[in-house]
A and B are shown apart, each in its own frame.
Chain A
């Protein structure tokens, strides 16, 4: 089998100034330009002659290597065969989108080569170029042509697209009057009818309701079965496992693993569960009680700061008491998006506040699985008695809960929906009549 895409030693370097273009204004450019001119005109100007031997731009690039520049991608090598479906996984900022953007010729690499054979279409977004004022039909044509179809091709597939999107009745209505679901359905329908040899898909399946998502996934696997090469980025590990025959793991612009989907997904879950899951604190001798360590584990006892929504969390707080304290309480507060979601005392289940003799204690608190919604949380620990706050440790830890194992699109506790926690209550519905 011959290759469809070949990537050799690919790298992309961004200047931070380019990432935040607003910082770069005309005046700075003018001063840069004048400096540049001056340094060229005057090679024996201020400073030693050896420093001036390099042109201004070069010396700038060299000196600012670690501050104003960073590699979004580096040393990427891969070969994708015809008809393969390859999943790309990685955390946010791992370089997945940059890779897809280079492959789809939107941005240019700093070094390296990408070769591909055949026509390529990339779906980095659903509904690119849709215009709100235009009707559904007009948008089908516009969007189709933007995605690289010829006009005749769109005309041929128009009926099919409309049927797939289920918007027959509203075809001549401007899309600004569409519901968001209809809009997305129409947008995906156009994209789903592309027939390139290579298809690049970035996270576009994360739209629409569950039924439509299934339809999209179905369509994707149909496309995959028809022998096309697909490059697929998704956070939905389930979708990757289902669709792909190979996967690539990116981490901070580097290619960490490549190969069997199960292996790569395992490496990915190992990766996201590392780092920053405990805090050691020094003992403050002037305090009667001081927290020395805060640790966070999953239900299997592994230290981690990244959890799946279906994992329980175990906090372990170690503290030292130097003089005996009546009614010492340890408080655990979890905040997500500046909102305190959980506020709990270690004495909540006791009838009477305890007396803590001098010594070292460990307090453990377990938060059951399927209770905290997905998101990034910060942990605050305080120690004190009912009449006195002894220690207040804000943001001692951070952790993240992700919707990895669960497809939450039809669930009430989906990250974007209202509510702060997943209801621990239960539902029962019975038929009355």
Chain B
């Protein structure tokens, strides 16, 4: 007996049906991820190097301006590492946001012609950014290890050189932090993707939003420095509701050999998961109608 499919007006799709539907389209999901990765750096001269150029250039610029010129506190980490530890996850996060927010619009050609669970389109785009992150992360590790050894063995005055404590903990924590970051990105961008399909204004809001979010996240400064300021304790509220704060601070703490801010992480984790769930719920209630707006 063949399975029967029912399409009805005002049909309520149960969660298990929704999940089963998603699962049955897993091949398409991977195909779209693969496509995004393959296509991204086609016909570019520098290719994958672009993944590194953006965070490295920014880190160098930040080191010079905020480090040397403004003399900001990096908690004893060398400036380039201090900024790279923030910029590598941050670039991945913002890329995921800005690309995937347009995912419904950019895959309108598919959505208006073929059925698939719409969640796949933004999902695949977010996952596509993981490859970029992995490359950046790998290079970052190499830099951190080399820097650490150099400081210990080759410097003429090891005690004056800033210490970098790279340990295996760093690798251990990465999947957790990546998951945290991806679920936050996914949650936010599911909402943005739907809104963008409906109101193209979103396109203009995103770059601005990302800028503001960067200032609200401890990319340029450290949370320790923030606490020392006048309104520090109030400003910390932003860190607790901003999942990227925990991600960045943890990477830095790992390199410094400091205590990992578990309290902050737990709070951020709760935020990220709630964002993800809210995003999915928002998306689910609107995905059926969105095709008529594309």
Contact A111 B291 (CB under 8 A): no
- Residues of A close to B7: CB separation below 8 A: 102-103, 105, 108-109, 113-115
Contact A134 B38 (CB under 8 A): yes
Q: Please tell me if B227 contacts chain A, counting CB pairs below 8 Å.
A: no
Q: How large is the interface on A (under 10, 10 to 19, 20 to 34, 35 or more residues)?
A: 35 or more
Interface size on B, residues (CB 8 A): 39
| Residues 1-38 of chain B, each 1 if its beta carbon lies under 8 Å from chain A, else 0 | 01111111101000000000000000110111011001
B42 touches which of A133, A146, A147 (Cβ 8 Å): A133
Q: Please tell me if B263 contacts chain A, counting CB pairs below 8 Å.
A: no
| Residues 265-294 of chain B, each 1 if its beta carbon lies under 8 Å from chain A, else 0 | 000000000000000000000001101111
Q: Please tell me if A104 contacts chain B, counting CB pairs below 8 Å.
A: yes
Contact A134 B39 (CB under 8 A): yes
Listed in ascending order, the chain B residues whose CB lies under 8 Å from chain A are: 2-9, 11, 27-28, 30-32, 34-35, 38-39, 42-43, 109-116, 198-202, 288-289, 291-294
| Residues 104-123 of chain A, each 1 if its beta carbon lies under 8 Å from chain B, else 0 | 11111111111111111010
Contact B115 A104 (CB under 8 A): yes
Contact A122 B115 (CB under 8 A): yes
Q: Please tell me if A79 contacts chain B, counting CB pairs below 8 Å.
A: no
- Residues of B close to A11: CB separation below 8 A: 9
- Residues of B close to A119: CB separation below 8 A: 2
Contact A111 B9 (CB under 8 A): yes
A–B Cβ pairs within 8 angstroms, 29 of them: A11-B9, A18-B292, A19-B292, A21-B294, A22-B200, A24-B198, A29-B198, A105-B115, A106-B113, A108-B7, A108-B11, A111-B9, A113-B7, A114-B7, A117-B2, A117-B3, A117-B5, A118-B2, A125-B113, A129-B114, A131-B39, A133-B39, A133-B43, A134-B39, A141-B31, A142-B34, A146-B110, A151-B31, A197-B2
| Residues 1-29 of chain A, each 1 if its beta carbon lies under 8 Å from chain B, else 0 | 00000000001001000110110111001
Interface residues of A in 110-166 (CB under 8 A from B): 110-120, 122, 124-125, 128-129, 131, 133-134, 138, 141-142, 145-148, 150-151
Contact B35 A131 (CB under 8 A): yes
Given contacts A108-B7, A109-B9, 5 further A-B contacts (CB under 8 A): A112-B8, A112-B9, A142-B32, A142-B35, A145-B31
Top-8 shortest CB links A-B: A118-B2, A105-B115, A26-B201, A26-B199, A117-B2, A114-B7, A145-B31, A113-B8
Interface residues of A in 335-381 (CB under 8 A from B): none
- Residues of A close to B27: CB separation below 8 A: 145, 150-151
Contact A106 B6 (CB under 8 A): no
- Residues of A close to B200: CB separation below 8 A: 22, 25
- Bound-state CA distance A103–B5 (Å) is 10
Contact A114 B28 (CB under 8 A): no
- Bound-state CA distance A12–B26 (Å) is 30
Q: B40 — nearest CB in chain A belongs to which residue?
A: A133
- Bound-state CA distance A117–B113 (Å) is 21
Contact B5 A116 (CB under 8 A): yes
Q: B8 — nearest CB in chain A belongs to which residue?
A: A113
- Residues of A close to B3: CB separation below 8 A: 117-118
Contact A14 B31 (CB under 8 A): no
Known contacts A105-B7, A112-B9, A114-B7; decide if A146 and B116 are in contact (CB<8 Å).
yes
- Bound-state CA distance A124–B291 (Å) is 15
- Bound-state CA distance A261–B42 (Å) is 50
Contact A114 B199 (CB under 8 A): no
A210 → B minimal CB distance (Å): 26
Contact B5 A14 (CB under 8 A): no
Contact A115 B6 (CB under 8 A): yes
A107 → B minimal CB distance (Å): 5
A68 → B minimal CB distance (Å): 14
- Residues of B close to A18: CB separation below 8 A: 292-293
- Residues of B close to A174: CB separation below 8 A: 42
B293 touches which of A21, A101, A134, A150 (Cβ 8 Å): A21
- Residues of B close to A111: CB separation below 8 A: 9
A115 touches which of B5, B30, B35, B115 (Cβ 8 Å): B5
B120 → A minimal CB distance (Å): 10
Query: Which interface residue of B30, B31, B109 has the most chain A CB atoms within 10 A?
Result: B31
- Bound-state CA distance A312–B153 (Å) is 96
B266 → A minimal CB distance (Å): 35
- Bound-state CA distance A75–B113 (Å) is 24
| Residues 44-68 of chain A, each 1 if its beta carbon lies under 8 Å from chain B, else 0 | 0000000000000000000000000
Contact A107 B292 (CB under 8 A): yes
- Residues of A close to B111: CB separation below 8 A: 106
B156 → A minimal CB distance (Å): 52
- Residues of A close to B35: CB separation below 8 A: 131, 134, 138, 142
- Bound-state CA distance A148–B5 (Å) is 15
Contact A116 B4 (CB under 8 A): yes
B198 → A minimal CB distance (Å): 7
Contact A147 B31 (CB under 8 A): no
- Bound-state CA distance A176–B69 (Å) is 49
Contact B291 A106 (CB under 8 A): yes
- Bound-state CA distance A146–B34 (Å) is 13
- Residues of A close to B8: CB separation below 8 A: 109, 112-114
- Bound-state CA distance A197–B3 (Å) is 11
Q: A108 — nearest CB in chain B belongs to which residue?
A: B288
A298 → B minimal CB distance (Å): 38
Contact B31 A142 (CB under 8 A): yes
- Residues of B close to A118: CB separation below 8 A: 2-3
- Residues of B close to A129: CB separation below 8 A: 109-110, 114
- Residues of A close to B110: CB separation below 8 A: 128-129, 146
A110 touches which of B9, B38, B42, B114 (Cβ 8 Å): B9
